[in-house]
Structure 1
Amino acid sequence: MDVREPAAGPCQGAATDVTALPGHRGGTEVFSFADPTLFRLGDTVPLDGRISWAPRIEGHFQPINCYLVKEGSVGYLIDTGVAAHRQRIIDQLRRVDSDIKEISIFFTRAELDCSGNFASLYKTFNVTEVISGAIRNPFDSYDELSKLSNTEIRRQNLPLSGVEDMQIGSSSRLRLIPAHIRMLTTYWAYDSVSKTLFSSDVFGHTSCKGEQDSIILDEEAADHTTINSVGAHLLEKFGWMALADNRYMRNWVEKLFADYDIEHIAPTHGCIISGKRSVMKHLSYLMDALDQIGLKEQH
């Protein structure tokens, strides 16, 4: 994948309940949402065919996000973004870290769209902890992260069956959830204060158009998502779904949303889905898309 420094292009729709830092709430901005202690950081990439996890959509862009949760003097950073956005993320983090004494980095996946800026952030800020799921395997990059710093990586070796969760670091509000829709081992997170689900590379099926629009997709936003567009995004990232019986994953997601009170979905790629009605609408799109693209039950 070739991710060069792109032109900015935030998502469609205006947000109604976002407390932003000064400036635009688009894909190039840092702003708080859902709660004053929760921040979105990141930038955008053009969907011009160079991005491996999304279909080509001419003239559209997609945000690549990481999230900062402030809890006392600790900042929990969920993913670090791609290397092409390095300086922007460093600058954004400097704007919101004035009262943070230490940063704990949590990786949802071992892929470089999540871990690409770890080394630079470690050199620039007081990173005291790295939290990563999974066990050692030759296909992830956690060992390389260890070599880049003296920070001991905390490994959370969780079972991948059932909807189990555990505390993230010393946080009293963040819970780690092993994801059952994945390539390599993947973990989602839930923030009980803002009622936000951090869904890594799922629910990233939204694209962006219009430089003056918000990347918050709420009830007031123009939402052109369809079951077909969700399915197209899923198959770009999880091509094996076309040959799978997706009922297990569908049931897992359905149970997850029954177990947790989710009012916002914050994916690594795509717009932030905000508000209960918007969340349930996009959950329905995902459920229907999983049914549509997978193997059909044989009778």
Structure 2
Amino acid sequence: MGKKKIVLLLSALILLGGYTAAAWARIEGDLSQRQVEDPNSEKNREDIAKSVLESTGRTGQYDLSDLEDVTVYFGGAVTGNEEDVLVSLSFGPKNTVIAAYTPDGNVYEYAGDLGNFYGVRNIRFVPSPELGKDIVIVRENVDQSLGSFEQTDVLRGYVYENNGFRDVLNTPEKIESSWNNIWNQSDIREESLWRRVTENTESSWSSGENPQLTITRYQDYLESSDQSEGQVPEDETFDKKQSRVVVERFYWSEEWGRFILREAVEKATGEKVAIVEDLSASPYLLAGLADDKDYGILRKDGTLDYVKEEELEF
């Protein structure tokens, strides 16, 4: 009887130890190999979502009943090991969360949070021998109405360092924006005119010591014959008025630790800056909507700013 009690006690301790480890794993947000390899079973979907929300500090912000999709992407984002994973949780429009994990035996340990996104079209990994890991490229879909009815796909790049992810690229890849001319006029007698700009692109990546992204932007400006003021008119009412093709090349700069277009010197400080955005490449210029600045720049202190061309020396 004594031996039986000891066996029962040991069994209880083993079970307790297993439960404690499992509870701890949930708190830390770890994932099992089985979950990662089969993320779309009903149980795994919910367990993965719980772990991601706990590890990223979002427990309570989302209702698991709203979970729409769980996607696992493999790539060397954290350690360079191609078994590193990014897990994307979609809770509907404007509510996608991405977290990173690294394998340790049969467990995937939480490594970092890429942030919140409107919606994720896909994720790709660009090898960087210099970094010893992959650069993460998230294609985000943004559907919004802020001064216009706009749908945009944006390429956002991230590099993992110092136990977190850092932004290294931000550029549109697809745009369709519609608005009414009278929204920009103070004279209420202005004739209703629906305008639209579109941008479709072809993107090509070249890997190596200094990865490069070449984007060819096909841009159109259109006007609609429909003079209603409420809803966006049907596509067939829009006629093309202007078109152009713009080619941009972003290259990885070791000095700046991100993708840039080129370098310049800021006249006011005499310091070198990186050009990270060229506003003349915007399709809105076809509609006569020029920005009052010309370039987005990055300074050595990490600050981002928009400046006029005359403020720079090339």
Task: State the TM-score, normalizing by the size of structure 2.
Answer: 0.22
Larger radius of gyration: 2
Tell which has more relative contact order, 1 or 2 (C-alpha 8 A, sep 6+): 1
More helix by share: 1
More strand by share: 2
Task: State the TM-score, normalizing by the size of structure 1.
Answer: 0.23
